[in-house]
Structure 1
Amino acid sequence: KYRLKKHSAVIMEDKTQKLTLKREVGLMGAVSLIAGTMIGSGIFMTPQTVLSTIGSPGASLVVWAACGVLVIMISFCYAELGTVITESGGEYIYILRTSGPVVAFMLIFSSVLFVRPAGVASVALGFAQYVVAPFYSDCLPPVLVVKCVAAAAILVLAIVNCLNVRLSMSLQVFFMVAKILSLAVIIVGGVVMLIRGHTETFEDSFENTNVGINPIGIAFYQGLWSYDGWNNLNYVTEELKRPEVGERVCGDLVLLHRRSY
């Protein structure tokens, strides 16, 4: 009887075990998951739209700086949420824990069917535009070719992410380094042009600024879309290695903040 009860207890314990994700995302992978996603095709596509909408180079720089500050503040909030609610899912799990399953279902339903596919499609189309552009230097690339390249890129990335987490993280790190190098070339080139005295753009830089609600709203929308990706790490919280380090640091900061009052 004792053995039978013990065997039954082991079976019940096995049945009640939860399915857990492998913690294979390290520090570099976590950083690349955020930075590599934020530095995407949007940052190469939207600057001209922001400039043409707001009307002046000075105002466009103000818009970019304001978008950056806003994203930093929101990222701090998400970092706090990620250390308090250590579950994967991002805003879905936060709304589920605070507002209930109905609101969470409405969020994930709209996100899966509309928001996420539209975002992925727009990024893939931007990527495809840059990929096929060298083959059509004298004209615009055909729309069908761009769409096929974008669809192929989405399928390849989906397959890689399904096959192996470590492989996908390695690709993420590689592309993050490539994007940072590309931005570094652009930034260094701009600094060199400034040193050589090409400052015509900064003369009367706020002239012809559009101060209406509509152009400012569109400019902010384009800027924030380029910064999109700052919340991606919270979707894989359960796959992070040693997340308790972040929890301990956050807890120490909270205690220090409370003691200061």
Structure 2
Amino acid sequence: MTDGAVVAGPALVVVLVLLLAIAAVVVWLGGLGSGRSVLVAGVRAAAQLAAVSLVIVGILRSGWLTTGFVLLMFTIAVLTAAKRIGAPRDAAWVALALGGGVVPVLGLVLASGVVPLHPVAVVPIAGIVIGGAMTATSQAARRAVEELRTRYGEYEAALALGLPQRAAALEICRPSAGHALIPPLDQTRTVGLVTLPGAFVGVLLGGAGPVQAGVTQLLVLIGLLAAESVAVLIAVELVAFRRLHAQWRRS
């Protein structure tokens, strides 16, 4: 580190390669998944960040380009979540869940003036909120579908007792799907005690004071919690209504 910034150079490349290799080998040997997927994710991250670094300066000079870039981020998040859920054809319903969480949060923080309507401020907050909602939506929907498939007999029993389809499905899947909110809840509870998240550190490295960094991180955490809560609720409701991943009946 030099003056609080990460030193870019050959040493950084070596460290990144070693860290990625460690992660891939641990996942592979531990039977936690595909080591190749870890390598691919790391390489994609490097390539995508390199591409974004080349174009972001131009994007941040234009309000229209910034809006287009945010919409692109949202679209990619929708497609990624739909694929992760196992329902790529249900992208429109995934967009409804994601948008239901993201749009109110971004609308509130931008309309209130808490986050200035400058591209350099809009892009980071939009990316953080969209990314968090994407992860929460995919986790909640996957958990809901898996729970309904595993406990389909209980779902049928609930129907036999006279519960409507939606109520019967929610009775089975809602508690498990709600676990998708555990990571943001834990992060919010322990911020400053266990972790110093990226927004806080980034603002500090940008030259702002600790108070400004603290309020920025608080806005991010609470905004994420709100966006993810709404997105998870909508995703679970869509699964229960058989709109999102309708084929959850056990084969």
TM-score range, shorter chain: under 0.3
TM-score by length of 1: 0.27
Q: TM-score, normalised by structure 2?
A: 0.28
